[in-house]
Structure 1
Amino acid sequence: MSSMQKDVESYKKLLKGLKSNTGDDLYSHLIEVFGHLMRHYPEDALDKIEEVSYLCKNKDDVNIQEFLKIAEEIRFKTCTEANSEYSFKAGKLFEAPVLEEDEEPPEKAPVGNVPDLITLGRVFEWAGITFGEKEYFLLQKSLAKLAETSGATKIRFWGKIYGTNRDYYIAEGVKEGDEEGEGDEEKPADFEARGTGVNQFVYWVAHDSLSEWTQLPDLFPKYLKVSRDIKISFTGDLEKDIVTVPFFHGKEKHYLRAQIARIHHGTTLVPKGLYRTNEEDLKEIEANEPEDEENKYVPQTENQNHLSNWSHYPKGILQNCRTQHMDPEPEEEDERDPEEILKEIEAKDPYDPRLKLISDDSEVEKGVPAWNIRLHGDKERQKTIRGKTEHNGVIVVKSNRWPGSVTVWKGVNWHQIYVGNGHKYEIKSYFPVHSPYIPEDPEDIEEHPEPNPQEVEAPPANEGEGAAEGDKEGEGNNDE
């Protein structure tokens, strides 16, 4: 027998020799306590050791199985209910219509274009963004079902915005026809109709891949205006009131819709050279398609690794919270031509140039550029089996002005996604700061009456005073 085994046996013998008044030894008590802890409290054994020890010592007066059985049933019931609810929700994405005998399945309406999220997810991983293949698969099924029920012609996964209680998954799509989602609120005169301006796309939100999608209302300029002056965290409740200064006349769904529009119009990019401005109207763009297809410009990975080869795609949002100035309505006393008034308005609130290069964007702050770009993976082209060459590198373009907005380029395609808190990077603080340190008052100086020689009596002369100065030692000796 080894020395370690001898020590173990001696400790066992020592513990068995320590007995209580009832005759129970410490060794048996510890075996019983640790057995219950391993079976019932494996994750919080240290916190439960005193409780279980008390129950074991008082098992004649307390039914220990009742306590442990209840705790075990609660954990099992909670886990079972969660798995059952998850399976039920996930199963609804795959369920087929129930048909009677000899009944033919109904014809399904055509589903709009839904990108392959599983393939895109592998590309987004190069930018450090992933939800897992399982979640992408469920999102893919959920978006396909949304396209079927909503009638949208195009739908894509726009991204995710974090909330304090629940997050928002966001889907972007093109939906024609009725304009739902605005509620009973009357549309203002400066409202941009669906399919144009800030309402070019329709957006839906869900809290996870198994939740129902809720369509967000179309955006009114008044909500966009106030959103530029406030900053508040999302909670995950679309109907929550926004209490800020200045006051926001809407719910969280309106604030969320405004932030989505600001992110979309500020960070959506296209490779340089694919589009050109319209010669007749410089505020519009068109595809750059030459007559000779052989000379058609095709962006390459080597070129797209530079900020100067990326351009802003959508129109910028003006100070009037629209993408287009409205035709002016001159006052009765104003006899100027409406075109002259419109030119004056545009001079005060000019349009951003279309297809503006992101390399021309101003810095976020001193030393911090508006965009970062990086090439991941292969740095050079590789030969294929067919003798051609291809570039397998992945280019990631990240916005510093809107942290979380990412554009990823791979091959000849580019994709965009946003994952963040939905706020713009700003230096200024929206919260009250501590007041500056106020030092304590200094001690007051003792006050004395102002001296007046005419009123103050001369002090009596001390003994020895009045003697001639020459009598002092070392004085009165004149060398002249």
Structure 2
Amino acid sequence: MTDNAIPGPLDPEELQIQYAKSFLLQTDNSGLSLYEHLSALLSRILSERPPNALEVFESLSAELHWSRLKQGSDVLRAPREESHTCRKAEVQRALFSRGDGEGEESEAEGEMTESPLPNLLDLAHLLQQGGVNLGRDEAVRISLALKRLTDTHPLQVCHFWGKILGSGGSYLVAEVQFREGEDDEAEEGGEEEEKGEVEDDVEEEENEEAEDLPPKSTYRPPPVIPKEENGTGANKHVYYVCSEAGAEWVRLPPVTPAQISAARKIRHLFTGNLDAPVITYPPFPGTEINLLRAQIARISAGTHVSPLGYYQFGEEEGEEEEEGAVRDTYEENPDFEGIPVSELVESLSNWVHHVQHILPQGRCVWVNTSVKSEEEEDEEEAEEEEKEEENEPEPEVGPPLLTPLSEDAEIGQTPPWTAFLSTHLIPHYALAVLRSNLWPGAYTVSSAKKFENIYIGWGLKYMPEGYSPPAPPAPQAEYPSGPEITESTDPTVEEEQALKVAKEEAEAAAEEMEEEEDEEEEEDD
């Protein structure tokens, strides 16, 4: 018979066997078949060979069947993993659920008091007209997430700041202000510990004996620049972030000047993990949660703008200005009549910054770190005081609040802002859109009397040239050379003997000279 020969019809007995086997191979909803169950059961009986196989047949069958149905680590087949959609739905399910009577209570409270919850659907509609689309579904989920935040914290103001993208996840950012006297989570005391450690080290060095010790370095680290207090400067607002709508909100810690200064020198993509280390050069003092807070402060200071005249300084600000104090507060102008959209687009002078500028020191208000206490000043001499007065640093000054955008510096040959109308087809209902070229992703959409700021981007500043890490600092100067610390090679035995002979000869010559002088004095006498 050749290989291509057609097989003959099956024997009726073999055909019955095939039918029976196909019947036994039928699976149920759990994916198990009777054929596999019987095969595994017989295999176990033959391997264990119990003396009373018939009596334990039913118990072994039930045990094997239960072990197959149980989803555990002892099964041969790996358990089925939940899809990303199922996990996301499980997280967001709590946003759409509420307890019995919760809706009625919230409606009653809403009639009595004003809620800090922003109207995110109105904001999304306004941004969509300006070309920044959050999506209706995401806007609803973010709005529900903000509602959970306002329901669980005593907030006075809650604002959706924006969304910072990351390589492994994104951050939804909420900018809030607590009611007066109800912020119990303020973090303080970090800098005092650092100062205490430095003072302890100085005391230990002074207590050590100075005899027979190698020379010590006179280098002293620069003084730690104190962070601004909560509610002022870069820490004026409190920020909460979450990885997605429905996840837990995490409060960001206050930002320090050292973190802002380091963030200006590095470029780092966020990973979506707040506890992830920031491995860069120069090293960043903190983890991703601190870098995120520093970037939020920088973006807010550079991109939060408003139409001219929407905010104004209070009446008390005039007295502070005469004393030389920095203005850090403002209020809405009740008499603001609005600016036509066409004028907002034509001139940047109709826009102003309403967030304080961050100085090179990393603070909004400059602080003199060279000022010393009265005890230290009494101990110093007058000459040292004169030198300090000559080397006293100059105060850093930045643009004040409500400075027009027309005074912003250009980025090479690129203007810092781009203004345009949302539509040219229906100019009567067009909106003014302001896009930041310095921080890509920052937008301001404004009508005649209403405006909104938002940021949706990677948290990186635009650089016209390629990024290059800063060069390492110059090496410290060596110790001053002198006879007490200059190293010399040990003399050999021959050199020591020659030196000894030379000393003896010099001593003998000196004695002969003395004897000759004595003899001459005696002859003269």
TM-score tier, shorter chain, comes to 0.5 to 0.7
Q: Distance in 1 between matches of 2:271 and 2:289?
A: 11
Query: 247, 256, 262: which one pairs with 2:283?
Result: 247
Task: Please tell me whether the aligned partners of residues 181 and 215 of structure 1 are also in contact (alpha carbons under 8 angstroms).
Answer: no
Task: Write the letter of the residue equivalent to 2:358.
Answer: I
Larger deviation: 125-134 or 303-312?
Answer: 125-134
Q: Which residue of 1 aligns with 2:267?
A: 231
Match of 2:436 in 1: 399
Aligned twin of 2:407? 360
Partner of 2:348: 307
2:458 maps to which of 397, 421, 426: 421
Question: Would you say 1:125 and 2:171 are equivalent positions?
Answer: no
Q: Distance in 1 between matches of 2:425 and 2:352?
A: 23
Query: 1: distance between equivalents of 2:91 and 2:188?
Result: 28
Alignment of 1:254-333 (within 5 A): 254-276=290-312, 278-282=317-321, 283-284=326-327, 286-287=330-331, 297-305=337-345, 306-326=347-367, 329-330=371-372, 332=377, 333=380
Q: Quick check: 1:164–1:236 contact (8 Å CA) kept in 2? A: yes
Give the 3-state SS of the residue equivalent to 1:93 in structure 2: helix
- Could you tell me which residue of structure 2 aligns to residue 445 of structure 1? none
Q: 1:96 to 1:316 in 2, by over 3 A?
A: same
Matches of 2:125 and 2:333, distance apart in 1: 31
SS of alignment partner, residue 96 of structure 2: coil
Residue in 2 that maps onto 1:376 = 422
**1:260, distance to aligned residue in structure 2 (A):** 0.3
Shift of 1:220: 1.4
- Indicate if the aligned counterparts of 2:225 and 2:258 stay in contact, CA closer than 8 A: no
1:112/1:148 contact within 8 Å kept: no
Deviations 1:32-80 (A, max 9, x none): xxxxxxxxxxxxxxxxxxxxxxxxxxxx9xx9999xx89xxx9x9667x
Describe the shift of the 1:87–1:167 C-alpha distance in structure 2 as closer, same or farther (beyond 3 A): closer
* Counterpart Cα distance in 2 of 1:317 and 1:23: 88
Task: Give the letter for the 2:367 counterpart.
Answer: M
Question: 3-state SS of the aligned residue for 2:429?
Answer: coil
What TM-score comes out, normalization by structure 1 length? 0.63
Distance 1:363 1:318 in 2: 18
Distance in 2 (CA, whole Å) between partners of 1:268 and 1:137 is 24
What is the identity, as a one-letter code, of the residue corresponding to 1:325?
A: W
Confirm or deny that 1:178 pairs with 2:155: no
Unpaired runs of at least 5, structure 2: 8-21, 33-76, 193-223, 470-525
Asked if the contact 1:111/1:153 (under 8 Å) is kept, the reply is no
Q: Which residue of 2 aligns with 1:14?
A: none
Q: 1:288 to 1:210 in 2, by over 3 A?
A: closer
Answer 1 or 2: which has greater helix percent: 2
Alignment of 1:9-408 (within 5 A): 21=4, 23=6, 82=84, 84-97=86-99, 112-176=115-179, 177-178=182-183, 180=185, 182=187, 185-186=190-191, 190-276=226-312, 278-282=317-321, 283-284=326-327, 286-287=330-331, 297-305=337-345, 306-326=347-367, 329-330=371-372, 332=377, 333=380, 345=393, 347-366=394-413, 368-377=414-423, 391-408=428-445
Q: Which moved more, 1:215-224 or 1:172-181?
A: 172-181
What TM-score results when the alignment is normalised by the length of structure 2? 0.58
Aligned match of 1:56: none
Secondary structure of residue in 1 paired with 2:443: strand
Conservation of the 8 A alpha-carbon contact between 2:339 and 2:448: no
**Partner of 2:435: helix, strand, or coil?**
strand
1:181 and 1:216 in contact (8 A); partners too: no
Change (3 A) 1:64 1:254: farther
- Between the two structures, name the one with larger relative contact order (CA 8 Å, sep ≥ 6): 2
In the TM superposition, what is the alpha-carbon distance from 1:94 to its structure 2 partner?
A: 3.1
- Partner Cα distance (2:381, 2:257) in 1: 26
When the two chains are superposed, the root-mean-square deviation of aligned CA atoms in Å is 3.9
CA contact (8 A) 1:112 1:155 kept: no
Q: Give the residue type in structure 2 aligned to 1:319.
A: P
How far has the Cα of 1:369 moved from its partner? 0.2
Distance in 2 (alpha carbons) for counterparts of 1:429 and 1:154: 40
**In the alignment, what sits opposite 2:55?**
none
State the alpha-carbon separation in 2 of the partners of residues 23 and 352 from structure 1: 94
**How many pairs align?**
349
Structure 1 regions of 5+ residues with no counterpart? 1-19, 25-59, 382-390, 433-480
Identity fraction in percent? 30
Q: Any idea what SS the aligned residue of 1:131 has? A: coil
User: Equivalent residue of 1:377, what SS?
Assistant: coil
Task: From the superposition, tell whether residues 21 and 243 of structure 1 become closer, same or farther in structure 2 (CA, over 3 Å).
Answer: same
State the distance in 2 between where 1:247 and 1:184 align: 23
Measure, in 1, the Cα distance between the counterparts of 2:26 and 2:265: 61
Distance in 2, Cα, partners of 1:166 & 1:287:
37
Cα distance change on mapping 1:186 and 1:149 into 2, 3 Å:
farther
Amino acid corresponding to residue 299 of structure 1 in structure 2? I
Query: 2:304·2:353 contact (CA, 8 Å) conserved in 1?
Result: yes
Q: Distance in 2 between matches of 1:162 and 1:409?
A: 24
Distance 1:133 1:225, change over 3 A: same
Distance 1:149 1:288, change over 3 A: closer
**Cα 1:289–1:154 shift into 2, 3 Å:** closer
* Distance change (3 Å), C-alpha of 1:189 and 1:179: farther
1:365 Cα offset (Å): 1.4
Distance 1:105 1:152, change over 3 A: closer
Distance 1:246 1:428 in 2: 19
